[in-house]
């Protein structure tokens, strides 16, 4: 990267807006996916959407590639710089620019943290629905790039269902205002294409989001089963009864044991699986539905069904789920979270495939996941000092994803392809499908300078694979 | 000519443009062959299902072949326990609904005339109905598509699982694109359980503005399944708010009380209607009632009243008879205009007023004669440059419905 360019960036953004000392760059060498690392040559920290556009125009003049980054909580290595000397961080774009309570809209800059949106409107009885577990840290820009989900997406949908418009700075530096405050904008759904494009179309600097009403009431239940199969049958039976829970989460034996050891919430340590079920909506319908969930769980062999009696008990039940990753930290020095999807009726099959992979590779694998969506999150435990075990973790992860695809599912439900799964895209898509995607990419970024070498399998990846550190929770 | 093509007749015209041929392929392979042949010969194609919604869009600049997909009409896989369905593009929505109803499920999209609306048409025109207030639109329920591209290749996007972020969300490219970037041959949707009960409450209002305001109060008090505001002559002889309530009997009863309380607090008369689904169908079918044109404004929900005032005032000044229905909580206002001669003036007067409030204003459908000289789409704003590039990338020879879409695409 040409030295004059760094000087021009510094002139534009000030000394605190450009990072290029090697020791300071180490912070940026990976995101939540720690199995591959590479530091950028320069990190820039623009303060406004206009500065992002100016930076990209400069890079366009020099033909330099870049990688966008928000809070760095991504789990597929989407912000790993690969043949991209400049990292553009949107974390200083922190303004909530407009709150429209009556119309249930909010306009936020890319660096606004997911949780801040709900915090800003909760007093009005509204919230921003997508709730990835990293929501206290992850940014709206990153959520838009990854089309993030979370436990409550079963009923409320993922990021794309809540984004009405974005401001996108193309790699050329051109600013495109896509979508609108209103619905049904005529023309191609460019906003819908940008959401989930993993930063390969440019950098999103602003997003117009929908707000939804906080549900009037909840019922939260926890059901204990002897086996994952029995719990899976209960999941199908709940859905089959015509109930759409707000969340339907499963934890297997290993996770339940870890949670109980860590938090002493009174879960039977020998439980084969635990389901966490939350239903929400108008108060009148909840008790009949909760009673039906209880009946269904008992009919499928639940040994115990608890119903939270108040908000404190509800919080305690959710604590088991949300802190499961912390609990796992007690079981092994390191862990790696996978993300795959199967049709929800195939959950028992994929659980068997995961168990088989664990046995084949002599690994311990726990499961805590969005059962209602068929979105699995196997947690592979390992010790980073054991190079052979690290290799077995990577192999088992690949095999689990192959099993997902073979069962009619997908390589990723909410973490993205990034660098991690680019090589496996041909499992899911034909050459014609991939050609259509590259054609789409070239429409937005003909020179391929926005987050190059991500998503597509032809990536000539040349990154240092170092000893991994502990990987962040989903 | 192939086994599946025949000469076209006047009934096959699209906005008054008569094609030379009609093609009715029976398989995806035949669709691919038809597209390849058309592309090689420089012919232009317009895709149709049962032809119910061909009045949407601008007249095609060229048209050689009307490609009818009504023979591709199978429900391929309804995975009830997974709550997904995969269906061919030519399948009409009423037949799909019957297949899903067997498992007490539905695809909660309710465009007008489901018996004449095919799955492909639903996606390509991005049709919706009252249910969008709580269930979303096509983009929220579509999981995957198979599309024949301009080179004849069959391309899959998305998948058959309810959560999926592998690669780009290609299905979004085709939603509402009027078949200008490919021929949709198959779609996968997520489906939902049907509601045990569906009722409605009708609130009579003195005028359009008060109906729009009452609707927002109902939204905040009851979060109804659907929420329409309708002008005089649509449901009763006055303007009305119609709120649909769905769910268990207990939920519906709670919602009914909440809506009735809103009406009482405003001193408005209200009645409960047991057949909520029937009323919803009637409201949804509204735009196809005889009219020279149906205009469609998209505004912010709180601007619906102002938009309706503008519509009524402009119509009065033009001595034009209009009827309107709005998806009130979504900010979508539809206006049926009886006099063909008034359409252009109404569009010219209302479009800038709606645009000044961040809204959009399109001619949703109109007779061919009415569209002449009319920009049905209006200014689409910032994304047009990217849209042109997209069209050029996915349909470089202009095979698919040239001129039908925004900006002459």
What percentage of residues in chain A have a pLDDT greater than 70? Answer: 97
Residues A198 and A247 in one domain: no
SS3 category, B204: strand
- Based on the domain organization, do A315 and A232 belong to the same domain? yes
- At B255, list the tokens: 């919602």
> Would you say residue A289 lies in a domain?
yes
Supply the mean pLDDT for chain B.
Answer: 96
Answer whether residue A302 is part of any domain. yes
* pLDDT attached to residue A320: 81
Check which CATH number belongs to the domain holding A372 and give it.
Answer: 3.30.70.2740
CA distance B235 to chain A (A): 25
Burial A22-45 (b: 16+ CB within 10 A, else e): eeebeebbbbbbbbbbbbbbbbbb
Residue A344 and residue A258 share a domain: no
Average pLDDT over residues A370-388: 94
pLDDT of B1: 74
Residues 98-157 of chain B with CB under 8 A from chain A are 104, 126, 136-137, 139-140, 149, 153-157
Residue-wise pLDDT tens digits, A15-62: 999 999 999 999 999 998 888 889 999 999 999 999 999 999 999 999
Looking at the structure, tell me whether residues A299 and A370 fall in a common domain.
no
Work out the burial of residue A3: count CB atoms within 10 Å of its CB; fewer than 13 is exposed, 13-18 middle, 19 or more buried: exposed
- Averaged pLDDT, A383-389: 92
Task: State yes or no: pLDDT of A470 exceeds 50.
Answer: no
Whether residue A388 is found in the same domain as residue A284: no
Contact A82, A463 (CB under 8 A): yes
Number of H helices, E strands in chain A: 16, 20
Structure confidence at residue A269 as a pLDDT band (50, 70, 90):
confident
CA B354 to chain centre: 20
Could you give the C-alpha distances from A46 to A10, A13, A53, B182, B255, in angstroms and in order?
10, 6, 9, 39, 48
Q: What is B289-378's CATH number, 3.30.360.10, 3.30.70.2740, 3.30.365.10, 3.40.50.1820?
A: 3.30.70.2740
> What percentage of chain B has pLDDT greater than the value 70?
99
Residues of B within 8 A of A439 (CB-CB) are: 393-394
Q: What are phi and psi of B331, to 5 degrees?
A: 75, 25
Nearest-CA neighbor of A193 among B285, B147, B174? B174
Chain A residues with CB under 8 Å of B304 CB are none
Helix (H) or strand (E) holding A316: helix A311-322
Distance from C-alpha of B23 to C-alpha of B2, rounded to nearest angstrom: 8
**Are residues A163 and A142 in contact, defined by beta-carbon separation less than 8 angstroms?**
no
Domain of residue A256 covers 217-327
A325: tokens are: 């990753």
Residues A105 and A208 in one domain: yes
Mean pLDDT is lowest, of A53-62, A255-264, B308-317, for A255-264
Distance from C-alpha of A98 to C-alpha of A4, rounded to nearest angstrom:
38
Interface residue of A165, A282, A413 to substitute, partner B, most B CBs within 10 Å: A282
Question: Based on the domain organization, do A189 and A117 belong to the same domain?
Answer: yes
Helix spans in B227-318 (H): 249-265, 276-285, 304-318
Q: Answer yes or no: are the C-beta atoms of A461 and A420 closer than 8 Å.
A: no
Give the angle A328-A306-A231 at the CA atoms, nearest 5°. Answer: 60
Cα A171 to Cα A462: distance, rounded to the nearest angstrom:
23
Which residues from B are below 8 Å from A430, CB to CB? 155-156
Judge whether A47 lies within some domain: no
Please identify, among A281, A312, A327, the residue that sits at the C-terminal boundary of a domain: A327
- Give the distance from residue B168's alpha carbon to the nearest chain A alpha carbon, in angstroms: 6
Which residues fall within 8 angstroms of residue A251, CB to CB, at 6 or more apart? A259, A273, A274, A276, A320, A321, A324, A367, A368
Placement of tokens 């829970």 in the chain: A245
* DSSP 3-state of B24: coil
DSSP B143-198: EEEEEE-TTS-EEEEE-SSSS--SS--THHHHTTSTTSS-EEEEEEEE-EEPPSEE
Q: What is the residue-averaged pLDDT of chain A?
A: 93
- pLDDT band at residue A91 using 50, 70 and 90 as cut-offs: very high
> Which DSSP helix (H) or strand (E) runs through A155?
helix A153-156
Contact A189 B385 (CB under 8 A): no
Each residue's pLDDT tens digit, A161-212: 999 999 999 999 999 999 999 999 999 999 999 999 999 999 999 999 999 9
Q: pTM value?
A: 0.96
Question: What does the pLDDT read at residue A326?
Answer: 81
What is the phi/psi pair of residue B330, to 5°? -100, -10
Query: Which helix (H) or strand (E) covers residue B365, if one does?
Result: strand B360-366
A132 and A209 housed in the same domain:
yes
CATH number for the region B197-285 comes to 3.30.70.260
Say yes or no: B251 contacts chain A, CB-CB below 8 A: yes
Q: Domains of chain B: which residue ranges? A: 1-194+379-409, 197-285, 289-378
Question: A173 in helix, strand or coil?
Answer: coil
CB contact under 8 A, A345 and B149: no
CA-based torsion, A344, A345, A349, A352: positive or negative: positive
Last residue of a domain, one of A327, A352, A376: A327
Q: Is residue A466 scored above 70 in pLDDT?
A: no
Q: What is the distance between the alpha carbons of residues B260 and B273, in angstroms, rounded to a whole number?
A: 12
Interface residue B326 vs chain A (CB under 8 A): no
> What domain count does chain A have?
3
What order do you get walking across the sheet with A203-210 strand by strand? Answer: A96-100, A105-109, A203-210, A163-169, A175-179
The enclosing domain of A155 has a CATH number of 3.30.465.10
Strand B65-68 relative to strand B45-48: parallel, antiparallel, unpaired?
A: parallel
**Do β-strands B332-337 and B293-298 pair in parallel, antiparallel, or remain unpaired?**
antiparallel
Chain A residues in contact with B104 by the CB 8 A cut-off are 242
B31 CA to centre of own chain: 24
Q: A361 is written with which tokens?
A: 């590779």
Architecture, CATH, for domain B1-194+379-409: 2-Layer Sandwich (3.30)
Residue A420 with chain B: CB contacts under 8 Å: none
> Would residue A122 count as lying in a domain?
yes
Residue A473 banded pLDDT, cuts 50, 70, 90: very low
What does the pLDDT read at residue A423? Answer: 94
Residue of A465, A448, A335 lying closest to A84 (CA atoms): A448
The two domains B1-194+379-409 and B289-378 share their CATH topology (first three levels equal): no
Q: Tell me, what DSSP letter sits at residue B19?
A: P
Q: How confident is the model at residue A467 (pLDDT cuts 50, 70, 90)?
A: very low
Helix (H, G, I), strand (E, B) or coil at B63: coil
Give residue A406's pLDDT. 97
CA separation for the pair B10, B30 (Å, rounded): 24
Res B266: pLDDT: 97
Among B139, B163, B250, the residue with its CB nearest the CB of A192 is B139
Q: How far is B7 from chain A (nearest CA, A)?
A: 32
Per-residue pLDDT tens over the stretch B246-305: 999 999 999 999 999 999 999 999 999 999 999 999 999 886 667 899 999 999 999 999
Beta bridge partners of A209: A106, A163
Question: Rounded CA gap, A309 and A319, in Å?
Answer: 15
The three-state (H, E, C) secondary structure of A254-287, written as one string? HHHHHHHHHHCCCCCCCCCEEEEEEEEECHHHHH
Residue A468 has a pLDDT of 43
Shortest CA distance to A468 belongs to which of A366, A395, A394? A394
Contacts of B175 in chain A (CB under 8 A): 189, 192
Q: What whole-number percentage of chain A has pLDDT above 90?
A: 82
Q: What is the pLDDT of residue A35?
A: 81
Minimal CA–CA distance to A323: which of A166, A151, A427, A473? A473
Residue A42 lies in a domain: no
Residue of A nearest to B385 (CA): A176
Question: What is the pairing mode between strands A247-252 and A203-210?
Answer: unpaired
Distance of CA A277 to the CA centre of its chain: 21
| pLDDT (tens digit per residue) in A443-456 | 999 999 999 999 99
Q: Could you tell me which residues come within 8 angstroms of residue A427 by beta carbon, excluding any fewer than 6 positions away?
A: A401, A402, A405, A411
More confident residue, B128 or A270: B128
Asked if the Cβ–Cβ distance from B193 to A429 is below 8 Å, we say no
Q: Are A93 and A141 in contact (CB under 8 A)?
A: yes
CATH code, A226: 3.30.70.2190
In the structure, what pLDDT confidence band is assigned to residue A363 with cuts at 50, 70 and 90? very high
Put simply, the chain B residues between 153 and 182 with a CB less than 8 A from any chain A CB are: 153-157, 159-170, 172-173, 175-177, 181
Average pLDDT, integer, range B180-201: 97
- How is A16-42 classified by DSSP, letter by letter? GGEE--HHHHGGGS-SS--SSB---SE
Please give the C-alpha separations between residue A187 and each of A260, B92, B101, B304, in angstroms, as whole numbers.
53, 25, 33, 22
Distance, in Å, from the CA atom of B407 to the CA atom of B390, rounded to the nearest integer, reads 13
Share of chain B above pLDDT 90, in %: 96
Contact A157 B160 (CB under 8 A): no
Question: Which of these three, A182, A213, A244, is where a domain ends?
Answer: A213
Q: What are phi and psi for residue A464, nearest 5 degrees?
A: -75, 125
Is there a contact between B84 and A343 if contact means CB atoms under 8 Å apart?
A: yes
CA gap A110, A96 in Å, rounded:
9
Chain A CB contacts of B248 under 8 Å are: 284-285, 288-289
Chain A hits for B102, Cβ within 8 Å:
none
- What DSSP string describes A338-402? --EE--GGGHHHHHHHHHHHHHHTT-EEEEEEBGGGTEE-EEEEE-TT-HHHHHHHHHHHHHHHH
Asked if pLDDT for residue A469 goes beyond 50, the answer is no
Cβ neighbors of B306 (< 8 A, separation 6 or more) are B209, B299, B357
pLDDT at A464 over 80: no
Structure tokens at B8: 């076209």
Q: Quick one: CA dihedral B37, B42, B43, B49, positive or negative? A: positive
Q: Does residue A438 lie within any of the structural domains?
A: no
CA of B248 vs chain A CAs: smallest distance (Å): 6
Rounded distance, CA B407 to CA B227, Å? 32
Closest CA–CA distance from residue A332 to any residue of chain B (Å): 29
The alpha-carbon gap from A182 to the nearest alpha carbon of chain B, in Å, equals 5
Buried b (16+ CB within 10 A) or exposed e, A136-161: ebbbbbbbbbbbbbbbbbbbbbbbbb
């Amino acid at each position: 990267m040409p030295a004059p360019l760094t000087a021009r960036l510094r002139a534009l953004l000030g000394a605190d807006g450009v990072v290029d000392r090697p020791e300071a760059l180490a912070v940026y060498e990976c995101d939540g996916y720690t199995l591959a690392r590479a530091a950028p040559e320069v990190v820039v920290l623009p303060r406004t959407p206009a500065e992002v556009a100016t930076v990209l125009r400069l890079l366009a003049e020099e033909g330099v590639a870049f990688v966008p980054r928000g809070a760095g909580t991504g789990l597929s290595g989407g912000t790993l710089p690969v043949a991209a000397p400049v990292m553009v961080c949107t974390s200083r774009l922190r303004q909530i620019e407009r709150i429209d309570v009556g119309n249930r809209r909010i306009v936020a800059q890319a660096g606004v943290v997911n949780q801040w949106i709900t915090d800003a409107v909760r007093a009005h009885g509204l919230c921003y629905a997508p709730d990835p577990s990293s929501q206290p840290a992850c940014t709206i820009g990153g959520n838009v790039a990854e089309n993030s989900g979370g436990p409550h997406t079963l009923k409320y949908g993922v990021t794309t269902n809540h984004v009405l418009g974005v401001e996108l700075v193309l790699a050329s530096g051109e600013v495109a205002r896509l979508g609108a405050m209103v619905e049904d904008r005529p023309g191609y759904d460019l906003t819908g294409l940008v959401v989930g494009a993993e930063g390969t179309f440019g950098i999103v600097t602003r997003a117009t989001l929908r707000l939804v009403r906080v549900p009037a009431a909840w019922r939260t239940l926890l059901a204990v089963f002897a086996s994952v199969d029995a719990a899976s049958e209960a999941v199908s039976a709940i859905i089959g009864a015509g109930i759409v829970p707000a969340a339907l989460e499963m934890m297997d034996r290993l996770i339940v044991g870890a949670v109980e050891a860590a938090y002493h919430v009174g879960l039977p340590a020998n439980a084969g699986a635990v389901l966490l079920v939350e239903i929400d909506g108008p108060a009148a319908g909840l008790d009949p539905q909760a009673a039906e969930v209880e009946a269904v769980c008992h009919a499928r062999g639940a040994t115990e069904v608890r119903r939270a009696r108040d908000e404190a008990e509800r919080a305690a039940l959710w604590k088991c789920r949300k802190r499961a990753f912390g609990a796992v930290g007690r079981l092994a020095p390191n862990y790696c979270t996978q993300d795959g999807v199967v049709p929800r009726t195939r959950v028992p099959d994929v659980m068997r495939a995961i168990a088989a992979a664990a046995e084949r590779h002599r690994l311990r694998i726990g499961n805590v996941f969005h059962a209602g969506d068929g979105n699995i999150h196997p947690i592979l435990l390992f010790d980073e000092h054991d190079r052979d075990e690290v290799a077995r973790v990577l192999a088992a992860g690949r095999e689990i994803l192959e099993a997902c695809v073979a069962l009619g599912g997908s390589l990723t439900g909410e973490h993205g392809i990034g660098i991690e799964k680019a090589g496996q895209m041909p499992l899911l898509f034909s050459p014609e499908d991939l050609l259509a995607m590259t054609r789409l990419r070239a429409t937005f970024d003909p020179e391929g300078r926005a987050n190059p070498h991500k998503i597509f399998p032809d990536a000539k990846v040349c990154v240092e694979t170092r000893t991994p550190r502990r990987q962040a929770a989903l | 000519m192939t086994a599946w093509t025949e000469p076209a007749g006047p009934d096959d015209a699209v906005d008054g443009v008569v094609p030379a041929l009609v093609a009715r392929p029976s398989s995806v392979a035949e669709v691919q062959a038809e597209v390849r042949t058309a592309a090689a010969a420089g012919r232009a194609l317009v895709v149709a299902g049962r032809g119910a919604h061909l009045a949407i869009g601008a007249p095609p600049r060229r048209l050689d072949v009307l490609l009818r997909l009504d023979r591709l009409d199978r429900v391929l896989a309804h995975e009830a326990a997974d709550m997904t369905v995969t269906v061919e593009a030519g399948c009409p929505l009423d037949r799909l609904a019957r297949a899903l109803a067997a498992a007490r499920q539905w695809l909660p999209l309710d465009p007008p005339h489901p018996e004449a609306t095919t799955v492909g048409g639903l996606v390509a025109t991005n049709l919706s109905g009252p249910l969008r207030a709580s269930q979303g639109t096509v983009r929220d329920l579509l999981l995957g598509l198979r599309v024949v591209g301009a080179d004849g290749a069959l391309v899959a996007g998305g998948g058959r699982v309810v959560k999926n972020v592998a690669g780009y969300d290609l299905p979004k490219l085709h939603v509402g694109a009027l078949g200008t970037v490919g021929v949709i041959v198959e779609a996968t949707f997520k489906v939902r359980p049907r509601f045990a009960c569906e009722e409605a409450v009708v609130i009579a209002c003195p005028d359009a503005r008060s109906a729009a305001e009452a609707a927002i109060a109902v939204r905040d008090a009851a979060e109804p399944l659907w929420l329409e505001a309708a002008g005089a002559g649509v449901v009763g002889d006055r303007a009305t708010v119609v709120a649909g309530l769905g769910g268990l009997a207990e939920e519906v009863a709670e919602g009914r009380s909440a809506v009735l309380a809103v009406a009482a607090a405003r001193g408005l008369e209200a009645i409960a209607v047991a057949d909520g689904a029937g009323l919803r169908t009637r409201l949804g079918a509204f735009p196809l009632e005889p009219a020279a044109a149906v205009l469609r404004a998209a505004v912010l929900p709180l601007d619906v009243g102002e938009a309706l005032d503008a519509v009524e005032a402009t119509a009065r000044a033009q001595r034009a008879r209009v009827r309107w229905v709005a998806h009130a909580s979504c900010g979508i206002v539809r206006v049926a205009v009886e006099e063909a001669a008034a359409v252009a003036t109404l569009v010219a007067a209302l479009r800038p007023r709606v645009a000044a409030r961040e809204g959009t204003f399109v001619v949703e459908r109109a007779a061919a004669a009415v569209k002449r000289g009319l920009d049905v789409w209006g200014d689409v704003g910032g994304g047009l440059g990217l849209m042109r590039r997209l069209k050029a990338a996915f349909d470089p020879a202009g095979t698919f419905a040239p001129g039908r879409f925004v900006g002459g695409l």
